[in-house]
Chain A
Amino acid sequence: MTSRTVEIWVGLFVVAGIAAMFMLAMQVSNLGTYSSGEGYEIEARFEDASGLKVRSPVTMAGVTLGRVTNISFDGKSYQAVVTMTIEKQYNQLPAGTSANIYTAGLLGEKYVGLLPGSAADPCEDEKLQAELEGRKPDLQGLDCKPQHLAQGSKIQLTQGSLVLEKLIAQFVSSFMDNKEKTKNK
């Protein structure tokens, strides 16, 4: 075999190997579903973030908007601080958005579900306040735009994960209470 054909075959082999690795990377792994990585970070505090992991999805209306990038513990308030990165094209989330930790399926992975709330608008607040007090609204110095979540925003309304043992304990204690009540009657 001439060295030319050998070289062509080796070239084809290397190309096929790299193509296979590329196919594994893009088609068979989650690399293809990654976003550009650019986005803004928001923060939420949960009473209980058990089961949530770094890189868990953050969804709204069932669509993944971003990922959890960090989970830490706040030693002062004893809460879990969850940092999430939202892709930058979703920059219209209203400021009143609430965050809940849900479970996918009966036994599935935990994920953060965002529920849209009202977009807090300082001008509207001022108008309402003025109407109640019977005076003219003072709109000077106020930014008359609905507020959106942006880099560093904190989500106020949160609901942590549901732990099965807690639910059962609640159910059992309320069941026992009822029983005692009926006995006393």
Chain B
Amino acid sequence: MKLDPIRNLGHSGLSFFQRLGRGNILFVNILRGSPALLLRPGLLIQQVYSVGVLSLLIIFVSGLFVGMVLGLQGYNTLVKFGAEESLGVVVALSLVRELGPVVAGLLFAGRAGSALTAEIGLMKATEQLSAMEMMAVDPVRRVLAPRFLAGFISMPLLAAIFSAVGVLGGYFVGVGLLGVDEGAYWSQIQANVDFDDDIINGVIKSVVFGVVITWIAVFEGYDAIPTSEGVSRATTRTVVHSSLAVLGLDFILTALMFGE
């Protein structure tokens, strides 16, 4: 009786590592099933539509408003130092380095990750996945791999769209509304944003986030307890875990890329 707390600790530790192991095995299986998708691109296109295209609107609108807010806030601070010409650099660097990948990743986790988990979890709860296995169709290859690849492809594109739209939003507010010089806005950006250091690192970040978010989403759905409550819990866990993973990984990646 007295040892119960310790037993619970051991139990939760064991189940954590079991889940981690199942997640890694699933990841490897998905990667092994991915090349076969080249023969059936239709599956992939269908998933890119539901994961990427349907996320476009929220990414587009959020990017525009984040860029506009950055323009306003940046201007109000910079004008105190007489450096409002640097507004473009503030907007572009913060979007390309951090906000683009991170905010797009969080939105992607909420919009696409939760949908993936709910869909796969419900397929499991209604025994569609077992039915596939009965017909000798591997659900990992037929259901999970296309969704994973679609997230892997969509996330960098969405992050790039987010950053580009954000820079334009900052341009509208800064140049159109607040009267920053148009030439200074773009030339300062071009002088201070480096292609290798900033843009490529931002793209690398968004690729990493895309892999992690879709991996968590697909795994949570596949591993969900096949009841309606289990599916709802799995969906919540997807959003929470992938958001935390994005923020934590962002710190590690930033420290690796920009810390000297």
Contact = CB atoms under 8 A, between A and B. Distances in A.
Interface string A174-185: 000000000000
Interface string A25-38: 10111111100000
Interface centre among A14, A21, A29, A31, by most B CB within 10 Å? A29
Interface residues of A, number: 24
Contact of B161 (A17, A25, A32): A17
Interface of B: 42, 45-46, 48-49, 52-53, 56, 92, 96, 153-154, 156-158, 160-161, 163-165, 167, 186, 189-191, 193-195, 198-199, 203
A29 B160 contact: no
Taking chain B's interface residues, is the majority helix, strand, or loop, or is none over half, making it mixed? helix
B190 A32 contact: yes
Interface stretch (A3-11, A130-138, A140-148, A162-170): A3-11
Contacts of B186: 27
Closest 3 CB pairs of A and B: A17-B157, A20-B164, A20-B160
A139 interface: no
Given A29-B195, A30-B193, A17 B163 contact: no
Contact of A13 (B46, B48, B191, B198): B48
Given A24-B163, A29-B190, A30-B190, A10 B45 contact: yes
A158 to B, nearest CB: 25
B157 A14 contact: yes
A148 B20 CA distance: 67
A54 interface: no
B82 to A, nearest CB: 12
Contact of A29 (B49, B52, B156, B194): B194
Contacts of A10: 45, 48-49, 52-53
Contact of B190 (A6, A19, A20, A28): A28
A18 interface: yes
A172 interface: no
Contacts of A24: 96, 160, 163-164, 167, 199
Contacts of A17: 154, 156-158, 160-161
Contacts of A13: 48-49, 52-53, 56, 154, 157
Contacts of A23: 164
A3 B164 CA distance: 29
9 contacts: A6-B45, A13-B49, A16-B157, A17-B157, A24-B163, A27-B190, A28-B92, A28-B96, A33-B190
A13 to B, nearest CB: 5
A29 B92 CA distance: 9
Nearest to A57: B191
Nearest to B191: A30
Contacts of A25: 195, 199
Contact of B45 (A7, A21, A30, A31): A7
